[in-house]
Amino acid sequence: MTDLLIVGSGLFGLTMAREAAEAGAKVTIIDRRDHLGGNAWSEPDPETGIEVHKYGAHLFHTSNERVWEYVNRFTSFTPYVHHVYTTVNGVVYPMPVNLGTINQFFQAAYSPDEARALIASQAADIDPTHVDDNFRTKGISLVGKPLFEAFFEGYTSKQWQTDPEELPASIVTRLPVRYTYDNRYFNDTYEGLPTDGYAAWLTRMSDHPNITVHLDTDFFDPESEFSKSRTVGNLPVVYTGPIDEYFDYREGDLGWRTIDLELEVKPTGDSQGCPVMNYGDRNVPYTRIHEFRHFHPERAETYPKDKTVIAREYSRFAKRGEEPYYPINAAADRKRLKTYHELAATEPNVLFGGRLGTYKYLDMHMAIASALSRFNNVVAPFLSGETKTMALPERD
């Protein structure tokens, strides 16, 4: 007997499960993969022992005190600080755009004020009333046209295969622009990687006597004990899969991007000298290369000196049945999403959450914060009998 079914064991689902279990509810988690954690899973490479992020780099960072205190219940974190570099026209630059990037690109020695003035002049063609219209207008307003074309346009064409004018401005604003030589990738107060890896962290979150986990279990398999047809209307459900798949794509497919990772063990102790190298040139087919040994420099003595693991990342549109990573959120998507929200409002006690269930570009800390908030405001009152229904899907 279960009090709550959670479909998907990513960080939103695991957080919701843990909170419900600690409140006394019997919780069942199902996932069609063979492991917990969604895309945040990591595991040792069998040849080298180097911990590999199976679905691409996952870097934990947050300024949310509540989230930081919460995750530290299940894992400690290393002092890792993320730095990214990008190769454009055969030259390596620090990213995100900072004073070092600007001076290197223009072969200059601008002061912060001089750099600000330069960028402002190079963004002067953007109408101030239309800055937030789309990815292109916002990007040029932030870094000027030459830097936008060098560092964002080619990379974006590979990452999204969508006209930048069709992409929301929010995508580019995820990256800071700094007029100092600070090339940290994130601005957050707290940053690090789980000391024992993501697998240990995520497994600890599910380790509670009130939580039962069923892997290799598909919510859409009619033969499954926990299928949609057998549970919706009979059990309260937290659904964290793609919202369009839940409704059998009846209003059309939402636009999703997925990635392919091409892993290679190379016969060297260091292939590129940094954790992530982006490639901005259109003629380079991959968007970036991860070198996983650099995520845990504290393990240098335990990792082999003559081997390293890299992964070339390729981005493409996700087809049905493939793992969606990023919501494209073009105008047509937003129109379909509105209709899916209306359909979701009619589902009996189904809460849609997480990146896929809400069609939002959520980082890990954002998914955890969302789950904590929605448990307190929606699920806890429902489970205690204070309310008779669970909430509509989370909206912008």
Can you list the domains of the chain with their CATH numbers? 4-49+196-251+329-384 (3.40.50.720), 95-171 (no CATH)
* 172 phi/psi in degrees, rounded to 5: -75, -25
Structure tokens at 166: 């069709």
Distances in Å between the Cα of 109 and the Cα atoms of 18, 104, 105, 112, 391 are 52, 8, 10, 10, 55
Cα distance between residue 8 and residue 37, in whole Å: 8
Cα distance between residue 72 and residue 41, in whole Å: 17
Nearest in space to 158 (alpha carbons), one of 284, 289, 262:
284
Structure tokens at 319: 């087809």
**pLDDT value of residue 391:** 56
**pLDDT value of residue 134:** 87
Q: Which residues of the chain have pLDDT under 70?
A: 391-396
* 138 phi/psi in degrees, rounded to 5: -70, -45
Active site residues: 174, 178, 257, 288, 313, 361, 363
Cα distance between residue 25 and residue 8, in whole Å: 18
Give DSSP secondary structure letters for 83-127: -EEEEETTEEEEES--HHHHHHHTT----HHHHHHHHHHHTTTS-
Tens-place pLDDT, residues 88-97:
999 999 999 9
**pLDDT value of residue 286:** 96
Residues paired with residue 43 on neighbouring β-strands, in sequence order: 52
**pLDDT value of residue 396:** 44
Are the beta carbons of 355 and 361 closer than 8 angstroms?
yes
Tens-place pLDDT, residues 67-85:
999 999 999 999 999 999 9
**pLDDT value of residue 131:** 85
